[in-house]
Amino acid sequence: MTADPTLLLGVLAVLALAVVVLLVHAVRAPMGRRTVDRFARRQHLVVDTANGGHVVRALALVLRWRRLGLVTGFAVAALVSVTRGELTVDFVAMFLGWFAGAVVAEWLVAGLPVGTGPRRATLRARSLGTYVTTLDRVLLSAVLGLTAAVAAVAFVGAVATGRAGTWAVWVVGTLVAAAALAVTARRVVRRPQPTDDASLLAADDALRAHSLTVLCGCAIAASGVPLGRLTDLAAGVLPEGAWSGGVSDGVGALTLVVCVALGWFVADRSASVRAGGAADPAAVPAPATPRGVA
């Protein structure tokens, strides 16, 4: 049934207004003090007057871009659905938008100026393992390894069922996303450190640990989308009729849920590599609220 053009135009207008309101809120909504406190507790960082401004700027930038990505994902998916005569909420698109916003945010945070003095390169070798726990790196390696193995089997299945083009699209898209994450992580690891101010150095170290842990979580969560699609293609190696469309959809949905849950755990709940290596902020009197924090 063809949708009424007038009704469709009205829905588009209301949706556009809602998107504008959400975008304005994403940009202008203040960041709560709880966000800074939670970051400090997780990263075992004492936020004081020397490093508070830098921490607040970095966290506000991250929050703003995550919100923008989430709203953009929702808006694009909703607009596409409306043009098809329906209105749906695509949570996968919203998640991918959040993921893209998080990556952009971490890239921008890596370029924020720290302090007023010159920055320097350290003689200590730094890598992902410097800022991310062994558990998080094992989970990341396991998911990436599983994705590569499924992609190899999926190639055989895709060729057998005549869907090699679909396989290529998902593999290329996955490699592009992985490259973007790897380049962003390298930027975070390699950026020069601030001056010898101990407070700023601690904040810089905590922000790197936070950024790289979030990027690991994003990689794990985002792997759920191609992994589910590649699993469906891999079923092409099974005998005809052994894998129905309903089973395929169920496996894809379950894969996405598991990867998103693991990614959320790594990004938001896993322990920091700094645990036990710095003063416990709970034992230090809370500093005055920095400017810009509600």
Q: What is the pLDDT of residues 262-288, one digit of tens each?
A: 998 998 889 999 886 544 433 333 444
The percentage of residues in the chain with a pLDDT greater than 70, rounded to a whole number, is 73
Query: Does residue 123 fall inside a structural domain?
Result: no
- What value does the mean pLDDT take over residues 56-81? 84
The first and second tokens of residue 286, run together, are 């809370």
Q: Which two tokens stand for residue 251?
A: 């496996």
Does residue 205 belong to any structural domain of this protein? yes
| 20 within some domain | yes
Q: Supply φ then ψ for residue 40, to 5 degrees.
A: -65, -40
Distance CA 36, CA 108 (A): 18
**Segment 138-144 mean pLDDT:** 95
The total number of structural domains in the chain stands at: 1
Query: What pLDDT shows up at residue 292?
Result: 45
The band of 79, judged by pLDDT with boundaries at 50, 70 and 90, is: confident
193-210 pLDDT, tens per residue? Answer: 776 678 888 898 999 999
* pLDDT value for 84: 72
In a domain, residue 69? The reply is yes
For residue 133, pLDDT beyond 70: yes
Per DSSP, what are the bridge partners of residue 293? Answer: 31
Is the pLDDT reported for residue 129 higher than 60?
A: yes
Residue at 60 is within a domain: yes
- Does residue 24 register a pLDDT over 50? yes
Judged against a pLDDT cut of 60, whether residue 31 lies above it is answered with yes
pLDDT recorded at residue 151: 94
**13 Cβ neighbours under 8 A, 6+ residues apart:** none
As given in the structure block, the two tokens for residue 247 are 């089973």
Interhelix angle 245-264/224-234, nearest 10 degrees: 150
| Structural domain contains residue 153 | yes
Residue 289 lies in a domain: no
Percent with pLDDT over 90 in the chain = 27
Place 113 in a pLDDT band, splitting at 50, 70 and 90.
Answer: confident
pLDDT tens-digit series, residues 152-181: 999 998 888 888 999 999 999 999 989 989
- Asked if residue 273 lies in contact with residue 133, where contact means CB atoms within 8 angstroms, the answer is yes
pTM: 0.79
Q: What range does the domain containing 35 cover?
A: 5-112+131-274
* Sign, Cα dihedral of 143, 172, 221, 274: positive
Q: For residue 121, tell me if it sits in a domain.
A: no
